[in-house]
A = this chain, B = another copy of it.
Amino acid sequence: MAEKRRLRVGLVGTGFMGRTHANAYGQVSKFFDSAIAVELTAVCSRNAGKTRRFAEQWGFASHESDWRKLVARDDIDLIDIATPNDTHAEIAIAAAQTGKIVACEKPLGRTFEESHRMADAVKKAGVANMVWYNYRRVPAIALAKQLIDEGFLGRVFHYRSKFLQDWTISQDVPQGGAGTWRLDKSVAGSGVTGDLLAHCIDAAQWLNGSIREVSGMTETFIRERAHVATGKPQPVTIDDASAFLARFENGSLATFEATRYARGHKALFTLEINGERGSIAWDLHDLHRLQLFDHGGKGALRGWRSIHVTDGDHPYMKAWWVPGLQIGYEHTFIHQVADFLKGLESGKTLVPDFETALKTDAVVDAVLRSAQTRQWEPVPG
């Protein structure tokens, strides 16, 4: 396979997201054909020992402990950013400036301003780029997109989406550490709005077009938490919960909500769209199913249909096993790499790229502003 074009990956970050990306790069060629050969060239994180072990375990040929060195290497084609949000902008911009392809975990920056600078940087550099809004690559959601593009819904009236978790309800969860950087505004930028709602918004704008205006509300239920290092209580700076009403450009109404205080829900990302001719619903807890209501056909036999999205004619599923056998969460990342390789081959941009992700961050920004102003806020176009 020596004649194949190579894509030499330099991964920054060895945490939860680092693992999902590393797995995706390692698995993609086993399930998807491509004219491009992905190579795990280097991985980088601050802890040298941990990084070395990560490299061994996942098959990276080398490792670094300073992302600047990684970005400077000329044996690397793609810089993939899987670090906490406060580092996204700096790394992405630097990588773009060296002409490298840039992949970045969502959201882009901590603020709309940071996101803007990142999107500008890749545009100016003219480098290929993508953002890991991985849920677009859930086969059931990809099937929903196909249906919508084919006109299955007709005129859309309603969109609703939630992302419910319950992992921060206890007062005992600390803040300030590596494992809880999502609770620190200075690192994360915001709480659930940027972390969870961003996924909801990305999917929503993909499936239903642009959001025009929002009315938002945020809340911090537990106002002080102990710092993981000092044990001393400190004010919590992020939003624990966030909800908003919205109007889309196509005239449909929406409700959105995310929280880490919904007891009993681990990662319940849901979406539902109601159109003139039918409705579609999905949730992450049973990600291999799509719920469909088709208003056509005989009235007495109408009902919500649960499609087990595991057949060869379902998006991505031909690559996997046989009908009825599920894939899971990690596969969405593999699919994203597979699609990105196809894009690189054909010269077509993979969405979501930085420009698309910026539109998501624009809504995040409007929601956070609206929660302050207590008024409807337009989404900056």
Residues of A within 8 A of B (CB): 1, 16, 20, 22-23, 26-27, 29-30, 56-58, 143, 147, 157-158, 160, 164-167, 169, 215-217, 219, 221, 241, 243-245, 247, 251, 253, 255, 257, 259, 261-268, 274-279, 284-290, 292-295, 299-308, 310-311, 313-314, 320-331, 374-376
Whether the pair B308, A306 counts as a contact (CB closer than 8 A) is: no
In the bound complex, how far is the Cα of B164 from the Cα of A300, in angstroms?
19
User: Closest residue to A307 on the B side, CB-wise?
Assistant: B303
Whether the pair B313, A307 counts as a contact (CB closer than 8 A) is: no
**Is chain A's binding surface mostly helix, strand, loop or mixed?**
mixed
User: Closest residue to A147 on the B side, CB-wise?
Assistant: B301
Partner of A293, one of B263, B274, B275: B263
CB distance from A16 to the nearest CB of B (A): 7
| Given contact pairs A30-B58, A285-B308, A327-B328, A264 touches B241 in the complex (Cβ within 8 A) | no
Partner of A301, one of B27, B29, B292: B292
Whether the pair B23, A268 counts as a contact (CB closer than 8 A) is: no
| Extra A-B contacts (15), CB below 8 Å, given A158-B241, A263-B279, A285-B324 | A29-B57, A147-B301, A157-B263, A160-B257, A164-B274, A241-B253, A243-B253, A261-B274, A264-B278, A284-B325, A285-B326, A286-B326, A301-B307, A302-B305, A320-B330
CB distance from A314 to the nearest CB of B (A): 6
Whether the pair B1, A56 counts as a contact (CB closer than 8 A) is: yes
Partner of A304, one of B164, B306, B327: B306
CB distance from A144 to the nearest CB of B (A): 11
Whether the pair B241, A244 counts as a contact (CB closer than 8 A) is: no
In the bound complex, how far is the Cα of B326 from the Cα of A293, in angstroms?
20
Whether the pair B375, A310 counts as a contact (CB closer than 8 A) is: no
CB distance from A351 to the nearest CB of B (A): 22
Partner of A278, one of B263, B311, B314: B263
